[in-house]
Amino acid sequence: MTVSPKSAQQRDPLPWLLAITVAFFALALHRIAIPSKTMFDEIHYLPAARRLIDLTRRYNPEHPLLAKEMISLGIRAFGDNAFGWRFPNAVLGTIGLFAATRAMWWASRSRSATILFAVLLATNFIWFILSRIAMLDMTMLAMMALAFWQWALAFRNDQRTNGRLHLILCGVFLGLSLGAKWNGAPLLVAPGLLFAWERWQALKGSERRYFLTAPKAGPVFGVSLLEAGLWLGLLPAVVYLATFAPAFFYKVQPLTLRGLIPWQGYMLQLQDSVVKPHTYMSRWWQWVFNIRPIWFLYENVDGAQRGVLMLGNPFTMLAGLPALAFCAWDGMRGDRLRRGIVLLYILALVFWALNGKPVQFYYHYALASVFLVAALSIVLAEWWEAGRRWPAYLGAGLAFALFIGFYPILSAGALPRANSYVDYAWLKSWR
């Protein structure tokens, strides 16, 4: 996570990031209450959110509670309607976008990479769509982005920052991410493992005898590996378990302290029990090549033919693949940031490649796609900083143009014909 002197001299692109984030929030709110009826998996999570308001009994027990608690806050604030259901994820998507870009800035200290990352993530389709539907994934993504922001700050190796505080906040957000959905579970080990590796590298010779207890070494001065294990290992577990607090107050079958840990095994059992084939089920390799999306909606509703296609931006998702290969090559030659991005992408994806869960969907690629976008941003920024700016202009321009072109089918806009889906379903597998 160290930065070059050249990168360290670059100006913080905070004004750009704020402008992009505000624009994203405005677009996320546009037509967010359309359709006025439920779409796709909202049929599962809205009843669960309502149960968390009246605390009657368990519903949708195969998932943790936090993301459903966020949906219930929207219902409490704005009523049991489409705006109330979806508004919390619009807020979380905006916060998560900003947090992810701040993580990129503090990890890379590259102004061009950070701005490109903000543009490409905001227009990668996946982040935008998950910010406009009452599902669980955006809470998980936003909390993970906040955790990585704090992680990057802690690893700045700068004695002027409070590394301990940032590690604590990282641990809190890691626990909250897991409390929303288990998809990010493989990444929870990354901060602690990297801390241990960096500490081992920082100590030399006989100093390594104090590997567990030495506080005055990288990556975070004043924090021993044992203490880091507390903030990055134990604390996330405690925070995760704390997110189940409302379940202790159900009127029927309330959760108990004795039952809290066994309940986790029951949740896993429920996850693995979903075996009924689904029209839009897919596998990890199809996500990588963007060939099996999901129609969250396609029907005549609210006075017009409308649709919502859960698809990755065709340019970003494919251009990101060679960018990952470039980053992997540079990572093998010693670039730690690029190596880390590739490893995090693999870690997020291999969870599904090795997972025995038979029914999987394209939106499970959401977390891995963030690191794909990061790799593309890093590669384009390298060319930009070397004076070859046309690839960055072309890449950002194509991503933005495709986002604008697909915007009606990303945001449930009114379509001119009953078969307007053919205008967007470029491949047969997209139908």
Structure confidence at residue 272 (pLDDT): 77
365-386 pLDDT, tens digit each: 999 999 999 999 999 999 999 9
User: 149-153, long-range: CB within 8 Å, 24+ apart, which pairs?
Assistant: 149/99, 149/100, 149/102, 149/103, 149/106, 151/103, 151/191, 152/1, 152/102, 152/103, 152/104, 152/105, 152/106, 152/107, 153/106
- Which burial class, exposed, middle or buried, applies to 364 when counting CB atoms under 10 A from its CB (0-12, 13-18, 19+)? buried
Burial of 98-113, coded b for 16+ CB within 10 Å and e otherwise, reads bbbbbbbbbbbbbbbb
Q: Give me the amino acid identity at 202.
A: A
Residue 362 has pLDDT above 60, yes or no: yes
18-50 pLDDT, tens digit each: 999 999 999 999 999 999 999 999 999 999 999
232 within domain boundaries: yes
> Can you tell me the distance from the alpha carbon of 106 to that of 100, in angstroms, rounded to the nearest whole number?
10
> Can you tell me the distance from the alpha carbon of 11 to that of 421, in angstroms, rounded to the nearest whole number?
44
1 within domain boundaries: no
135: pLDDT confidence band, cut at 50, 70 and 90?
Answer: very high
> Can you tell me the distance from the alpha carbon of 395 to that of 25, in angstroms, rounded to the nearest whole number?
23
- Which burial class, exposed, middle or buried, applies to 44 when counting CB atoms under 10 A from its CB (0-12, 13-18, 19+)? middle
Residue 284 has pLDDT above 50, yes or no: yes
> The tokens 């969907």 sit on which residue?
361
Q: Give me the amino acid identity at 407.
A: Y
Residue 358 has pLDDT above 70, yes or no: yes
Structure confidence at residue 360 (pLDDT): 87
Which of 62-76, 166-180, 215-229 is least confident? 215-229
159: pLDDT confidence band, cut at 50, 70 and 90?
Answer: low
Task: Tell me the pLDDT of the chain averaged across its residues.
Answer: 92
Question: In degrees to the nearest 10, what's the CA dihedral of 143, 187, 137, 424?
Answer: 120
Structure confidence at residue 203 (pLDDT): 86
202 within domain boundaries: yes
Q: What is the pTM of this model?
A: 0.94
363 within domain boundaries: no
177-200 pLDDT, tens digit each: 999 999 999 999 999 999 998 888
252 within domain boundaries: no
Q: Total domain count for the chain? A: 1
Q: Is the dihedral of CA 295, 297, 97, 426 positive or negative?
A: positive
| H or E element at residue 310 | strand 304-310
Q: Which of 5-14, 153-162, 219-228 tops mean pLDDT?
A: 219-228
231 within domain boundaries: yes
Structure confidence at residue 160 (pLDDT): 56
> Can you tell me the distance from the alpha carbon of 129 to that of 411, in angstroms, rounded to the nearest whole number?
7
Phi-psi region of 136 (alpha: psi -120 to 50; beta: other; left: phi over 0): alpha
- All residues at 6 or more sequence positions from 212 whose CB lies less than 8 Å from its CB, including other chains: 224, 225, 226
Outline where 79-162 has alpha helix (H): 82-108, 111-122, 126-130, 137-154
411 within domain boundaries: no
182 within domain boundaries: yes
- Structural domain span for residue 173: 136-242
